[in-house]
Amino acid sequence: MCGIAGAFSTDALWPVQPRLDAALDLLRHRGPDDRGVEILRRDGVLGLGHARLSIIDLSAGGHQPMRSACGRYLLVFNGEIYNYRELREELQGLGERFHTASDTEVLLAAWARWGRDCLPRLLGMFAFVVADLQEARLHCVRDAFGIKPMYLASHAGWFGFASELPALLALRGRGAELDLQRCYDYLVHGDYDSTAGSFVAGIEQLEAGTIRSYDLRGAVLGPALPWWQPDVAQTCTLSFADAAARLRELFLDSVRMHLRSDVALGAALSGGIDSSAVVCAMRHLEPDAPIHTFSFIARGSPLSEESWVDLVNARVGATSHRVEVEPEELARDLDDLIRAQGEPFGSTSIYAQYRVFRLAREQGVTVTLDGQGADELHAGYLGYPGRRMRSLMERGEWLRGLRLLRNWSKGPGRSLGYALKATAAEYAQGALYQRLRTLHSGALDPDWIDAATLRERGVQVAFPLRRPAHSLRGRRLVGELALSATRRGLPGLLRHGDRNSMRFSVESRVPFLTLQQAEFLFSLPENYLLSDDGQTKHLLRAAMRGLVPDAILDRRDKIGFATPEQDWLRRLAPQARAWLSEDIGVDFLDQSRMLRTFDAMLEGRVGFSWQAWRWINFCRWHALVFQPLRAT
């Protein structure tokens, strides 16, 4: 796990060395163990930089940038290739020779041998840039789910990339402006990390499962081309029992691969099905290995998961490490958390995760396994009842659909009214969709934002409507899962996990997110995922039976690393008011009205809204991250 950065300029006098140094300084937390830079002067000036966190092959053999044996390719790579041993053996059979034990050398040899056709062969998480010195091209690649980050920027005669946004801004070395559409969508609707755009104009993320190439001779950045796309057609004919057995096999094989490490590893444990499945699989595969788990405990709160954490730890004989948090600690750490994230984020639950990774590092653990991604692949959360109902209606199975909604609505935190609204929303478009969302979520132009100014600057003042690109009649649930896993929902969660873990030089691995599992799950009948009885993660629960305690598998009240946010903000009110009172100079925000609304929330005169956290987050991010870099 590492940090990468690089740039090309047609101006041979462009100060590549100091700019790369500045970017790598900002990425040092991602790779404190080694640092490398290579500068080439051809068609301009090209610089590639790498900050290394040593996980596999702790020797100097994993140093980057790394050049291929043939001399044609130069690679900087962030991530892990878990099946590197198998690929290495295959490549050796084809005549390749290796000089290190690193997965980086295997990746480089695979690219030299197969080009972009190597990508579906890779089991891992990755963001890398390979310079083809013969064709004078840079190829930027990101894994299928976007587990590892990459930001890109391009303007006349210049191109740059980096693992994190502040590093790319420092590398670019020019003024920055806010991306107003992203700011509006976040502040008003809580939408972020759902498109390629970032909070800074002109800076984009390379989207999950895509490759973009930059022509050094022509100084042209090509379009994002998918190297993997979800296929949501139902092709699996296995019975439910056989599908559960197959899923169990795929999951255990993935965990086995994710346990490969030359340093100490542990697991993040929240007490829900997903993280519990990971921890129990670790014990199943390694009966005698020590297991360390790391958990956030909201003791004394109805959100506490401590009893479930205790149950799993007792089952596997793990050494449990726990962290409890007081609001004053959030106030103390908030600035560091915001800097670590690099961009605004959704809620204080991200702080709970931040503390879990800090605890892991304090206990000497460098690698953790995490249950992230299971909700998106297995129809978790509330189960997407509207999508499933639409599939059944398109198949003419109305009565089955109505029974599903009735059964689904009996679960905690659910209602038949919600299910019917979710179904109606499936068919709403245009003005009708905007009207329905306004009734449900509030105004498009609250009084603390200057919507007229934003419209004049080209901002679409509306609720974001993102429909699945890969969807078929009768397969609406699976289409939504594919969207959630690659473009909306999961990308933000993966960003939180990456930045929080890397802040403490910890590598967070997510064994639910492999192409093999995703392709299998997307091929299944939809009722295998959301049962006709309204049970979410239907197949996963069956596959984990006997491995995970039944009490965990039968839960319907999963909370996760949730925090008592409203209570925290009440107790932090004086500090929060000070943050919101600091004028950040953003002309489309009325901070005085923000403050009045914030006070009204705390006094109970208006209902509590997650917008309060977003106001605080955005104002602090603007002051701490954006303003210092905008003038560089």
Residue 612 confidence (pLDDT) above 60: yes
Cβ proximity of 421 and 382 under 8 Å: no
Residue 488 confidence (pLDDT) above 90: no
- Please enumerate in sequence order all residues whose Cβ is within 8 A of that of 85, keeping only pairs 6 or more positions apart, or say none: 260
Q: How far apart are CA 251 and CA 537, in angstroms?
A: 14
Which spans in 259-348 are helix H? 273-285, 306-316, 327-341
Q: What would the two tokens of residue 430 be? A: 């245009």
Give the containing element (helix H, strand E) for 248.
helix 240-258
Show the domains of the chain with their CATH numbers: 2-226 (3.60.20.10), 565-630 (no CATH)
pLDDT at 571: 81
Cβ proximity of 323 and 359 under 8 Å: yes
Name beta bridge partners: 81. 124
Residue 303 confidence (pLDDT) above 80: no
| 276-288 average pLDDT score | 97
Residue 434 confidence (pLDDT) above 90: no
Residue 333 confidence (pLDDT) above 90: yes
Mean pLDDT of the chain: 91
The pLDDT tens digits of the residues spanning 448-463 come to 999 999 999 999 998 8
pLDDT at 298: 78
131-135 CB contacts, 8 Å cutoff, 24+ apart: 131/40, 131/46, 131/48, 131/73, 131/74, 131/75, 132/72, 132/73, 133/40, 133/42, 133/71, 133/72, 133/73, 133/74, 134/72
| 99-120 average pLDDT score | 95
- Percent of the chain past pLDDT 90, that is, above it, reads 75
Residue 558 confidence (pLDDT) above 90: no
Q: Which of 11-25, 150-164, 461-475 has the lowest mean pLDDT?
A: 461-475
Q: Which of 17, 79, 72 is nearest to 48 (CA)?
A: 17
Residue 23 confidence (pLDDT) above 90: yes
The pLDDT tens digits of the residues spanning 86-106 come to 999 999 999 999 999 899 999
Residue 426 confidence (pLDDT) above 90: no
Pairing, β 158-162 against β 34-40: unpaired
430 to each of 185, 425, 444, how far by Cα in Å? Answer: 17, 11, 14
Q: Residues 358, 360, 366, 372: what is their CA dihedral angle, to the nearest 10 degrees? A: -90
| 342-360 average pLDDT score | 93
Q: Which of 254-263, 470-479, 563-572 has the lowest mean pLDDT?
A: 563-572
Name beta bridge partners: 125. 80
Residue 561 confidence (pLDDT) above 70: no
